[in-house]
Structure 1
Amino acid sequence: MKPIINSTAEFLAVAQKHGLRLNAENVELNASGVDFLVAFATDEDGIPWVLRAPRRSDVIERAANENRVLNLLRKHLPVAVPEWRVNTEDLIAYPRLAGTPAATVNPVAKNYDWYIDQQSPSVTFVDSLAGAIAGLHTIDHDAACEAGVRVLQPVEVRQSLAKKMDQAKPLLRVSDLVWQRWQNWLADDTYWPKHSALIHGDLHPGHMLVDQDHRVTGLIDWTEAEVADPATDFAAYYAIFGESALADLLQRYQDAGGRVWPRMQDHIVELYCACPVAIAMFVLLTGDDTYLEPAQMMLSAHEQQMAGLG
């Protein structure tokens, strides 16, 4: 892989190499992403751009999948997605979509800076998000497969997660209490959907663009997209907004044509409890163990909650 971009000057140089002439005085770096260093810039014609530089070589292959997903989504999704104009090993660039992230990650405080009302998301926001997720999840699997998107059947989703849990267990030092909860959930058919769906895979507020009325108008950063468990796209929402807000979103999702099942909400709660597994897989992939401590803190919080419920 070519040298990783680390500075504004390097972004400008690589962008110019690919035919983008950017205003050097108006470049804003965003280092909050784990896969890409991002820059926001404006070209000589006043058009705003998003520039993404991969942080590691493994991101390149996943970016190829993301591009295939985006080409499919532009034909079917009711909200906007990026259209890559530059797609190389050292740079991805696209005209910035209209809208403002519902929240942005504050890397210093390690939390969100909110644009929408976190305490009471508007009906407009929740309705439009439900419609966007429903539109995504109802995209035809055959079309996804033909576009080269990875497709997992429901049984394969569970098998894959079970394997990841085995790999993550020693790294995370998972307690017997949490481990048994995971195994009970994996084994209980009543939790699990009998269908797969095309998912975003990392659907948190930083990847949701909204207009001034807080209507969701676009979704970005599709690196994790695949056909898999539809509940995945609700786990972050539950973690941030809580169980009552999740129930409301699921009802609106169903009203918009999304497919639900009797224990979908319970399943999302369990899925969130298992989120540290994904963090462990990232650590194993990259060798970056700085994420282990927050993952272990999440597990500890789950364990304390379970002990309290007991």
Structure 2
Amino acid sequence: MKEVKNSPLSESELIGLTQRHGLHLQPETFNYNETGLDFQVIHALDNAQQPWILRLPRRPDVLPRANNEHRVLQLLKGKLPADLPDWQIFDPSLIAYPRLPGIPVANIDMEKLCYVWNLDMENLPEAFCQSLGKTIAALHAQDTAAAAKAGLNVLQPEQLRGHLQGQMQRVKTAIGVADPVWDRWQAWLQDDSYWPGYTCLVHGDLQAAHILTDENGKVNGLLDWTEAEVSDPAIDFVALLAAFGEDFMKRVLVAYEQAGGRVWPRMLEHVQQRHGAYGVNIGLFVLESGTDDYLPMAKEALGLSS
């Protein structure tokens, strides 16, 4: 598989592109962030010293997800306790919006493929736990009919397992899955007690680099909504479990339930099972992006590493 990337724009081309959209930036303030898998991100100041975020698609396959994100941001504007990006420019070659306040919970070190934390991982603020649970609960309480009307993908409860089974089969056929891993997945899919009886609007990629907090650790912004859809509520807890551990997850679920989030008896176990199937997501990324960069990671998660 060979990755097909858009050629990066030169500084003069980028200035010309933004000016055609009425955005006048100071090129000496450009700060390039190459950690995004789907978009190159550039921080810059305009002539009024307003900080902006520019996102340039790396590959053609990310454009449908950008369209999805645009629909989600329009749908959710003003409806969550955290800020969302307000896209002032939305074009196949450029997305631009005023930078949100706050700092990411973590940045990604692409060389080491690990997080660089901006919160104290040994003493996570209670404000972070409470506000995170409250924000996820508010997201999951959104009207799914409105999401469908806005053009988002909608999975009904009875479709969840069939949809995931199809993704698993695609990865197994194209890359492979070790028998013990496959058997574990199938046992989970077939056990009704794990699965929710409803679906809701989910962020879809709620990981540390996409969560902004203020100086006290309170969640005040959420980024990167390309994967949002109506689906399994557990999806929004998987990356949190992986990053922060089971004890923190239990605290977030308590805050989530107190804020009106719906839980079921085996919800935490279900989140753990979804985490155990993260090889599906990595495998799909390899197949859809056309890049082999993450193929070794996918094979390890699929139980295929030697």
The interval holding the TM-score normalised by the smaller chain is over 0.9
Hey, what's the Cα distance between the residues in 1 that align with 2:292 and 2:179?
Answer: 23
After TM superposition, give the deviation of residue 290 of structure 1 in Å: 1.4
1:4 to partner: Cα distance: 4.1
| 1:270 aligned partner | 273
- The one-character-per-residue Cα deviations of 1:86-129 (angstroms, maximum 9, x if unpaired) are 00010000000111111110112211111111233110001011
Residue in 2 aligned with 1:214? 217
CA change 1:107–1:10 in 2 (3 A) is farther
Q: TM-score with structure 2 length normalisation?
A: 0.94
- Specify the alignment match of 2:34 in structure 1: 31
Mapped contact 1:38–1:51 kept (Cα < 8 A): yes
> Does residue 52 in structure 1 map to residue 55 in structure 2?
yes
1:25 aligned counterpart, secondary structure = helix
Once the two structures are TM-superposed, the CA of residue 9 in structure 1 deviates from its matched residue by: 4.4
Match of 2:18 in 1: 15
Task: Answer yes or no: is 1:81 the counterpart of 2:84.
Answer: yes
Return the alpha-carbon distance in structure 1 between the equivalents of residues 148 and 175 of structure 2.
Answer: 34
Count of residues in correspondence between the two structures: 303
> By how many angstroms is 1:29 displaced?
0.9
Pick the aligned partner of 1:138 from 138, 141, 160.
141
Q: Does 1:152 align with 2:155?
A: yes
Distance 2:239 2:109 in 1: 16
2:126 and 2:259 map into 1 onto residues whose CA distance is 14
Q: What is the RMSD computed on CA atoms of the aligned residues? A: 1.9
Could you say which structure has the higher helix fraction? 1
Following superposition, the deviation at residue 283 of structure 1 comes to 1.4
Decide whether the 8 Å contact of 2:176 with 2:302 is kept in 1: no
Q: Does 1:65 align with 2:68?
A: yes
| SS at 2:16 equivalent | helix
- Equivalent pair of 1:209/1:216 in contact (CA under 8 Å): yes
Is the CA contact 2:80–2:135 (under 8 Å) kept in the aligned structure 1?
A: yes
- Native 8 Å contact 2:6 2:60 kept in 1: no
Quick check: 1:97 aligned with 2:100? yes
Aligned counterpart for 2:202 among listed residues 175, 199, 202? 199
Q: Confirm whether residue 183 of structure 1 aligns to residue 154 of structure 2.
A: no
Mapped partners of 2:5, 2:227: distance in 1: 23
Distance 2:109 2:262 in 1: 34
- What is the CA-CA distance between 1:299 and the residue it aligns to? 3.7
- Per the TM alignment, residue 75 of structure 1 is displaced from its structure 2 partner at its CA by 3.5
CA distance in structure 2 between the partners assigned to 1:67 and 1:166 by the alignment: 30
**Following the alignment from structure 2 to structure 1, what is the Cα–Cα distance between the partners of residues 10 and 118?**
27
Mean CA deviation greater in 4-13 or 139-148: 4-13
* AA at the equivalent of 1:160: H
* Paired residue secondary structure (1:75): coil
Range that drifts further, 62-71 or 167-176: 167-176
Percent identical pairs in the alignment equals 45
* 1:289 aligned residue: 292
Corresponding residue to 2:176 among 173, 180, 184 = 173
Distance 1:120 1:138, change over 3 A: same
TM-score by length of 1: 0.93
